Amino acid sequence: MKGQIIVLARHGQTDFNVKRKIQDPFAPHLTKVGYQQAQILGKEIEKLGINFDIIISSDMSRNVETLAEIYPNYKQRQNIKIDKRLRERAHRDLTGKTKENIERELGEKFSDRLSWELYFEGTEKSKLTNKYPNDESLDSVRKRLASLISELKDKNRTLLIGSSIINQYILEYLQTGAIGSSKIEFPKGNVLDFQENNELRIVTLDKNIRMNNYSSIEY
- Torsion-angle region of 218 (φ positive above 0: left; ψ -120 to 50: alpha; else: beta): beta
88 flagged as catalytic? yes
Alpha-carbon distance values, 116 to 14, 58, 166, 198 (Å)? 20, 21, 12, 20
Calpha distance 138→48 (Å, rounded): 33
Choose the catalytic residue: 11, 65, 69, 199.
11
Contact (CB, 8 A) for 203 and 172: no
Calpha distance 41→10 (Å, rounded): 9
Angle between helix 61-70 and 32-48 (nearest 10): 50
Alpha-carbon distance values, 144 to 94, 138, 148, 173 (Å)? 21, 10, 6, 12
Helices (H) and strands (E) in the chain, counts: 7, 6
Q: Are strands 199-205 and 211-218 parallel, antiparallel or unpaired?
A: antiparallel
Choose the catalytic residue: 65, 69, 88, 121.
88
Active site residue ranges: 11, 88
